[in-house]
Amino acid sequence: MSAAQRYSGVARALHWTIALLIVINIPLGLLHDALAHTLPAIPLHKAIGITVLALSLVRIVWRLAHPAPTLPDGMPGWEKTAAHGLHLLFYGLMLVLPLTGWAMISAGDKPFTWFGLFSIPKLAVSKGSVVLSLSHALHGPLGIIFGVLILLHVGAALRHHFVLRDDVLRRMLG
């Protein structure tokens, strides 16, 4: 496979780093009550979330400057459209989920730190605001939707690799 057919090293590093952080963060968010006695899940969830946001912004800038390799010519149009649509949804969720979390943190009284190393400034969100209400309403359900979409994405990648035996997955592996 030529270099033009695969993602750049930077794109691959950002993809896998962000993917790992998200795969860790969704269960931390969903299971934080059950983990409360053994793991400081919420502080970790917050710090990982803001890291995902920062890395996602870098990834978007990188992607705009370095377009993705084209999908295989033999791939049906509906599948290409679905792949592009899912990637757009992922980018949106990688921004919206951390931002809704940050909004919820900002309206609270507790400090917001990055792994306890330094403070993150709070957004101008107050208790009772529409932004806070929307953030509370959206954050959890969007996290679950993101998890389901990730499973769909992984399933599609594995289908391409093991069933169709094309290079779609290999483009992101190196």
pLDDT given for residue 3 in this prediction: 67
DSSP annotation of 24 reads H
Averaged over 74-102, what is the pLDDT?
97
Measured over the CA atoms of residue 106, residue 108, residue 110 and residue 115, the dihedral's sign is negative
Split at pLDDT 50, 70, 90, the class of 76 is very high
Split at pLDDT 50, 70, 90, the class of 1 is low
Is residue 160 over pLDDT 90? Answer: yes
Averaged over 38-60, what is the pLDDT?
97
| Residue-wise burial string across 96-135, b where 16 or more C-beta atoms lie within 10 A, e elsewhere | bbbbbbbbbbbbeeeebeeeeeeeeeebebeeeeebbeeb
Quick: pLDDT tens for 97-145.
Answer: 999 999 999 999 999 999 999 999 999 999 999 999 999 999 999 999 9
In total, how many domains does the chain have?
1
pLDDT given for residue 5 in this prediction: 87
Averaged over 68-94, what is the pLDDT?
95
Looking at residue 100, which CATH number applies to its domain? 1.20.950.20
Interatomic CA distance for residues 99 and 94, integer angstroms: 9
Is residue 174 over pLDDT 90? Answer: no
Range of the domain at 131: 3-173
